[in-house]
Amino acid sequence: MPAGGCWQSGCGIEGRSVTASHLVIGIGNPLRGDDGIGALLAEQVGGRCVQQLTPELAAELAELEAVLFIDAWLAPAGAVPRITAISPAAGAAESHRLEPAQLLAISQALYGRTPEAHLLQVPATLFEHGNALSAEIQAALPQTRQLLRSWLARHA
């Protein structure tokens, strides 16, 4: 894939539907460069694409066994894609800026349970208007795809 390739040309994840008890949620705006990586990857696997996390998602999370959030990451130089486990964590919340841990906390508080949750973070650098991905994030896609495949395999 050429440098700066458009996200619309795909990222090589074989279509694998998530089950009713597991969900992949991609966070970000596909028209703001690398910010759209979460939405791109989630769409490839039949997941959900959201521009931001909002409170009503907590009701859905409470019914899931497992959830994977995918998000662009303003990482330190040299960082690589990573998956980390996340736990519910309340705190100062803005509706526009609900973090995955806060969404889990809402789910726990209102519905009494949360799914097993992970966050796949992809280092990102380009956030200009447009649907082109940066060369850096393109280079990170193979490792990112492997992490995503591994998670899907564990939650088949």
Partner 1 sequence: MGPDPTPRTITIDPVTRIEGHAKITLHLDEAGRIADARFHVVEYRGFETFCEGRPFTEMAGITARICGICPVSHLLAAAKTGDKLLAVQPPQAACKLRRLLNLAQLTQSHALSFFHLSSPDFLLGWECDPAKRNVFGLMAADPELARAGIRLRQFGQQLIEQLAGRKIHSAWAVPGGVRTPMTAETAAWIRERLPEAQATVRLALEVFQRLLDQQLVEEQRVFGTFDSLFMGLVDGQGQWSCIDGLLRLVDSRGVVVADGLSEDDYAAFLGEAVESWSYLKFPYYKPMGYPEGMYRVGPLARLNVCERIGTPWADAELAAFRTRNGTEASGGRIATSSFAYHHARLVEIVACLEAIGQLAGDSELQSPHVRSHASLNATEAVGVSEAPRGTLFHHYRVDDDGLITRVNLIIATGQNNLAMNRTVAQIARHVIGPSPLAEGAEIPEALLNRVEAGIRCFDPCLSCSTHAAGQMPLRIALIDARGRLLAERVRD
Contact residues for partner 1, defined by CB under 8 A: 27-32, 34-35, 49-52, 54-56, 58-59, 71-75, 90-97, 99, 102, 105-106, 109-110, 119, 121, 124, 127-130
CA 89 to chain CA centroid, nearest Å: 18
CB of 99 to partner 1, least distance (A): 8
Pick the closer one to partner 1 by CB: 13 or 104: 104
Alpha-helix runs per DSSP H in 23-134: 37-44, 57-61, 100-111
CB of 1 to partner 1, least distance (A): 21
Pick the closer one to partner 1 by CB: 127 or 139: 127
- CB-facing half-sphere around the CA of 14: CA atoms within 13 A: 6
Q: Treating both helix axes as pointing N-terminal to C-terminal, what angle do 37-44 and 135-154 enclose, rounded to 10 degrees? A: 40
d(CA 2, CA 31): 18
Pick the closer one to partner 1 by CB: 45 or 71: 71
Pick the closer one to partner 1 by CB: 80 or 90: 90
